[in-house]
Amino acid sequence: MIPFGDIMESIMGGHLADANSIDTAGAAGAVIRSRRKEQGLSQQALADAAKVSRKFVVDLEAGHERAELGKTIAVLHALGLSLAAAESIPCGTDYDPARRDYGATFTQLIETRDFEFAIKMLADYATASLKAGRPLLQRSPRLKEPHWSAALAGITAYTAHRLGQPTPLWTRRIKPLPQAWLPAESYRTVREPMKKLTMNETPPELAAMNVFIRERSLATA
């Protein structure tokens, strides 16, 4: 399967896109998430209208570059959009990973129990931090849920160590969880073989918090 980002690059012919061009997977995801919210649709409702899975919509909104073009077009059509968007690509902190307020993002996602998208944002936070050259959460997100606080503290420590930087002080105030936790288990069942694989491939900074996420799911930068 050809990555969606490569398809868009081929369509654009290598030329610089204007403000209304969907030329990357991230731009497509930004438009889709913005239009879905404007229309008051849940991710499941949009998935049903486009005849795709909710997981596909989640991946698409997160800018997953391996999204299938046919399904992507179906989602766009379900929202009344095409590859040439009628409006400018959404911008601002909510759509720019380097400027996104991750504390507010996770607070909202956890309060609404959108755990599947929250997991995508964990990877987004790690990738954006590595690309920015620093952990983007320099202050505690002050989440009410200790599991997600521990996950963010572990990822922050992980990115800091990969960048050769000191770990932000707030992470040291977050206590490790009393039991092992896989964020994926917040919305689906994880079979034992995958649990073992995940725990074996989790960075030590996360394992120290008793949070387990495969490094390949985080380090995309």
pLDDT digits (tens, 9 = 90+) for 79-130: 887 766 555 655 555 555 556 788 888 998 999 999 988 998 999 899 889 9
**What pTM does this model have?**
0.64
Question: CA-based diameter of the chain, in Å?
Answer: 53
Structure confidence by residue, pLDDT tens digits, 132-157: 899 999 999 889 899 999 999 999 99
Confidence at residue 24, expressed as pLDDT on a 0 to 100 scale: 73
Residue 81: alpha-carbon gap to chain centroid: 22
3-state DSSP assignment of residue 106 = helix
How confident is residue 7, by pLDDT bands cut at 50, 70 and 90?
Answer: very low
Domains of the chain: residue spans and CATH: 4-78 (1.10.260.40), 102-217 (no CATH)
CA nearest to 1, candidates 76, 77, 65: 65
Confidence at residue 145, expressed as pLDDT on a 0 to 100 scale: 92
**Tokens found for residue 10:** 């081929």
Alpha-carbon distance of 41 to 139, in angstroms, equals: 33
